[in-house]
Chain A
């Protein structure tokens, strides 16, 4: 198993609606210090390669990769930026390690959402400049279209979607670093401000500031450095159709494709019988349901009902988003996938505190970048015990 890759360190800066007085560099430095200390590595000597995730317009800086190295100990070292969710960086680290060019890789992703003064305009700038932008619609309209199609095609209801928000915000109460823990009911979601029908404001994850840094290693280095490596059993990513006019609505086909690859790599045939917990993209409530279906954890159109029945709760068959997800922890842009990975690692180490899932051996993380994008990534993690068993 020379190709095995493990997560050996996680670090964060905490997640908050606003981090006044701190720059993104200072957030990253804090998360990096924690991750390297957790992994027991010195980044100036022990880390062979660094992968950062960012998008220029979320930072207000063109060619933002200029500004990433210093605060993570990566100055004059191999550093690259991946313009995608953090799980794509996890996949990149896996490839770097399997290619033999790196033994230890650090990954950084952050959000300084509170710096952005015109988030709607920037989000709209992601729409096709020729076909869609002249319509003057918000990017969120695409989520409304998608949600409406999903509800009418599957028979899922807006109330079931609202339960997602309630469940994840509630779960966040047990996560000390979450930005938006609260006790809300589905009725509160139904009463929240309508955005693009049927999407309402509490269906949408609110942005937060924060940084997550991970340290990954090949088997030899992982055994050397860590008592409790968490293995990456499988990873997959895929792109759907970015063209709104020709995409599959109502089904997250890119998630299905990404999951298929990750499951094949991990040798998983029946995910619902293997996966002990999942951290799933919940940028919008209905999307968590679509994703659970695409991941094979619920039948098509059946996720809402299962969720309402408690199947994805803390005591359910597959606890989902016990971290609070993006709805509860806050939406961290490209760091979302890293926060999900961190939760999987803590759960598989058995150090998730009050939200610990019993006997967790296999965990799954899934990401998607929000409308209008169609790129998704999935990673399957396994504890050392699960791998040895």
Chain B
């Protein structure tokens, strides 16, 4: 690559100031519109260029969940959504943390919140991260959890609902994996679905796929009876 020709003749270096000394006054020069050079490679050029380097990194991690997130994951395994409470600002926090970021003090204790909530916002996503089209769109959402403080939610996905039926404020409930399949992961909740059966029409491919998954899940839930107990205990 050849160096770009400067837009103006470079300043003389004859009396270049020493480091620390103030540079001397020079006439003001008009700045751009500056015509940038530089060239874009085509995809083919990029892949076949001499010396093109194709390298990845084997970056692997085993993150400690820590006390707060570890407790949360154990709760999910048991089919519960656990929160931490700060008794100074009286907030119920999920995902839980051992410190209150507002009060800057330790949070005071665990409390169980409900596995229902409301859609705070959502999207209908038709592409994968590499921009390949998805056959079945995904519906990510922020769900405000019932029993947690107002506006406190988590990110998850929606299922058993037609994309066009989703709306902000919709009441939803968690659809859990059967207990035997839970492993202490956010995925122990398969997704959230509308609480109103009429909204769970699911005539689309997404809805059908979600329904198929849900049938399995709800079957297992009936068998264990865990869902009922959980509701009964909710605050």
Q: A residues within 8 Å of B by Cβ?
A: 19-26, 29, 36, 42-44, 57, 60, 69-71, 73, 75, 112, 114-118, 121-122, 125, 129-130, 133-134
Q: Is the CB of A115 within 8 A of B64?
A: yes
Quick check: is B66 within 8 A (CB to CB) of the other chain?
Answer: yes
Q: Could you write out 15 A-B pairs with CB less than 8 Å apart?
A: A23-B64, A23-B67, A23-B68, A23-B69, A25-B68, A60-B61, A70-B97, A70-B101, A71-B97, A75-B101, A114-B64, A116-B61, A118-B59, A129-B55, A133-B53
Docked Cα-Cα span, A26 to B57, in Å, equals 28
CB-defined contacts of A21 to chain B, threshold 8 Å: 64, 66-67, 70
Quick check: is B104 within 8 A (CB to CB) of the other chain?
Answer: yes
Docked Cα-Cα span, A75 to B55, in Å, equals 37
Docked Cα-Cα span, A133 to B52, in Å, equals 12
Docked Cα-Cα span, A274 to B191, in Å, equals 66
Q: Is the CB of A25 within 8 A of B97?
A: yes
* Interface residue range, chain B: 20 to 34
CB-defined contacts of B61 to chain A, threshold 8 Å: 60, 115-117
Q: Is the CB of B98 within 8 A of A26?
A: yes
Quick check: is B63 within 8 A (CB to CB) of the other chain?
Answer: yes
Docked Cα-Cα span, A170 to B64, in Å, equals 30
Q: Is the CB of A122 within 8 A of B57?
A: yes
Q: Is the CB of A121 within 8 A of B64?
A: no
Q: B42-62 CB contact bits vs A (8 Å, 1 = yes)? A: 000000000101010111111
Docked Cα-Cα span, A18 to B29, in Å, equals 59
CB-defined contacts of B60 to chain A, threshold 8 Å: 116-118, 121
Q: Is the CB of B68 within 8 A of A43?
A: no
Q: Is the CB of B102 within 8 A of A23?
A: no
Q: Is the CB of B57 within 8 A of A125?
A: yes
Closest to B61 in A: A60
CB-defined contacts of A121 to chain B, threshold 8 Å: 57-60
Closest to B63 in A: A115
Q: Is the CB of B98 within 8 A of A29?
A: yes
Q: Which 9 A-B pairs have the closest CB atoms?
A: A23-B66, A70-B101, A60-B61, A73-B104, A117-B60, A121-B58, A118-B60, A75-B101, A125-B57
Interface centre among B51, B53, B64, B67 (most CB of A within 10 A): B64
Nearest Cβ on chain A to B152's Cβ, whole angstroms: 14
Q: Do A129 and B53 form a contact, CB below 8 Å, given A70-B97, A70-B101, A121-B58?
A: yes
Q: Is the CB of B58 within 8 A of A118?
A: yes
Quick check: is B12 within 8 A (CB to CB) of the other chain?
Answer: no
Q: Do A75 and B59 form a contact, CB below 8 Å, given A22-B66, A115-B64, A129-B53?
A: no
Interface residues of B in 60-111 (CB under 8 A from A): 60-70, 97-99, 101-104, 106
Q: Is the CB of A71 within 8 A of B101?
A: yes
Closest to A57 in B: B59
- Since A70-B101, A73-B101, A125-B59 are in contact, a sample of 16 more A-B pairs with Cβ atoms closer than 8 Å, ordered by chain A residue number, is A20-B64, A21-B66, A21-B70, A22-B67, A23-B65, A24-B64, A25-B68, A29-B106, A36-B104, A44-B102, A44-B104, A57-B59, A115-B64, A117-B62, A118-B60, A134-B53
Docked Cα-Cα span, A146 to B97, in Å, equals 45
Docked Cα-Cα span, A21 to B97, in Å, equals 14
Partner of A112, one of B55, B64, B68, B102: B64
Docked Cα-Cα span, A22 to B65, in Å, equals 7
Q: Do A133 and B55 form a contact, CB below 8 Å, given A60-B61, A75-B102, A116-B61?
A: yes
Q: Is the CB of A115 within 8 A of B57?
A: no
Docked Cα-Cα span, A19 to B64, in Å, equals 8
Closest to B66 in A: A23
Closest to A28 in B: B99
CB-defined contacts of B98 to chain A, threshold 8 Å: 25-26, 29
Docked Cα-Cα span, A122 to B58, in Å, equals 7
Nearest Cβ on chain A to B58's Cβ, whole angstroms: 4
CB-defined contacts of A26 to chain B, threshold 8 Å: 66-68, 98
Q: Do A25 and B51 form a contact, CB below 8 Å, given A73-B101, A117-B60, A118-B59?
A: no
